[in-house]
Structure formats: structure tokens, C-alpha cells
Amino acid sequence: DVLQRNLPDFHIHEICVHPNDWEVKNEKNGWEELIDRGAKGLLLGGFGDFLEHAQGYYGITSDINSDLMLKMSVENRQTKELCIEEEIHRNMSLRSLHIWISSALNPICYSLIPQLFSTGLFPGLATFSLHLMDTSLNVIIWGNISGSFHIDLQRAKVFRCDGTIWGPDGFSQQVMEMIYYWKWLQTDLMSLVHKHHTTISSKTNKATAISTTNRIMTILKAWNNDASPEDVFSLGVISTGQFGIPAGLVFSVSFRDGCWSARSDVTVTDELRPKLNACADELKMVNDIAARILKMHDGLQ
């Protein structure tokens, strides 16, 4: 409070975290929350870490003794647990409708989305969740999309990013320059993509079709309308040995418009190479199993 009163550009955002979630919070969300508030920040940690920072940089110490701080901590924990229980109860009492919109940057959505909030369109529903999908382009998918695959963001762009830099319609930034928590990309993102179809099916009680349809339409539009040479597409094709992938495997690689050939400007780094090899090894194993089954079937005939 003293620092905020005396320093015009000093601001503190307090995040109350349950002890059971502190390790996860510290690893997964700290930097993201700070970045979402305008720019890079400094994650200080707990109370002791902050006091050390305030004393070292500003010469300010706290007169709160340890016993009082422990009492405050207990009260904060009780309040947090009560808030968690209330949130769980509220979520259980709500009947939420999930609406998924693919190609959300399409001009049609500018008129469609406001109409979704019209009174009487969804009678009896207190709330619904709107999921917009169309914020990142030029993501490269390597491997087998139904098995082992790798998401490559070296050419990916993001539009309308809620950050410090904004631009007109069509303004984009490189994803690699916007992401600071790389561990999330290597772990949780891959898991989320693997579960994408299952998640949508469980929420809608229908087979997934919109995202697949959108992918097909995107390729057809680019194929017949001369897409920009800068656009990146990932297609499963029979490998001829490009990128070091064994010939004969149907493997998802990066393609470019025009002659629809594999891009030569995509870099396969030393970090990426073992991941492609793992995808290729799985595909070869699947092919071997399929070949043995076909051979057994032919023998039975």
C-alpha cells in the first residue's frame, strides 16, 4: 500500500491461491497472468519473497509480525475455500449451452454473434458458453494426426492478440514472439489437441464435424483461389524422402500453394528431428501391423 501511494507507476495485483494449487500456479500461470496485464512482469512468489524484494529495491520493511501474518493466512485460506465451494455449487446449478463457431473471423460472424444474445433465442437457459476458433494461422502439423504428431509454431501467426501491441484488421504477430511459457506448449497443448474431438463430442453429444469441414474448405479455397505464397498448409501425403522422412509413409508435412509442393523454407531443428523420427517410427509400426493382418486375411481366403 505504501509503494502504491508513493510511486505513480507501481501497481500490485494480488492472486489468492489455495496451498494445494500453489505449485501448479507458480509453474503454469504466473507469467501468463502478468503478461496479460500489459507486458513482461516479475513473478515474486510468496509473502517472504515480496518483502525481500520491497526491502532490497525500495528500502521498505513490514511491521507485521509472523503470528499476525499466519492468522491472516488462515483467514485467507478459509475465504478461498468458501469461494471455491460457492463456485462449484454455482456451476453445478447452471445448465450451460456450449456453442462452437469455426472460422470466427469470417464476416458472417460479425452479424451472427450479436444475434446469439437475442432475448428468447435460447429460452430457459441462464447461460451459455461461446467458443470462437480462428485466431492462429500457419501452424504446421507433422506426423500422424490420428496418432503421434507434433505441433510446430515456427511459421504461426496470431491475430487480435490481447496484449500490448495492437494494429488494424489483418495485423498479425509471430506466435513464437508472443509465448513465454514453452513448457505448456510441449505438454498441455499437445494433450488438449489430442483430446479436442473427444471434448467437443462430450459437450455437444454429437460427432465432431465443424472443425473437419472447416479444414477441408480451407484447403479447397486455397487450391482454387491462389492463396498467398506465405500461407502454410499441412497435408498428409506420401513421403518421397523430404525432411528426412522415410519414403512411402503417409506423413503430414508443410506445403505451400502454387505447385503444392513441400516447403523448402521450413527448418527441421535438432530438437524437432527426434520428434519427427518418433512419429515416423509409429507409422512404420502401424503399417507393419496392417500388412501382417492383410497377409493373414489373404491366407485365410
Cell of 114: 450479436
Cell of 216: 477441408
Q: Say what angle helices 210-224 and 196-204 make with each other, to 10 degrees.
A: 120
What pLDDT does residue 31 have? 47
Task: Give tens-digit pLDDT for 32-42.
Answer: 555 455 545 56
- CATH tag, 136-299: 3.90.110.10
Residue spans of beta strands (DSSP E) within 154-197: 157-159, 172-174
| Domain-wise residue ranges, the chain | 2-92, 94-134, 136-299
Q: Among all chains, which residue has been given the C-alpha cell 451459455?
A: 128
Residues with pLDDT less than 50, the chain: 25, 27-31, 35, 39
Four-residue CA torsion sign, 195, 201, 207, 209: negative
- Round to whole Å and give the CA distance between 107 and 101: 13
238: enclosing H helix or E strand:
strand 233-238
The answer to whether 237 and 251 are in contact (CB under 8 A) is yes
Cell of 10: 507501481
Long-range contacts of 86-94 (CB under 8 A, 24+ apart): 94/126, 94/127
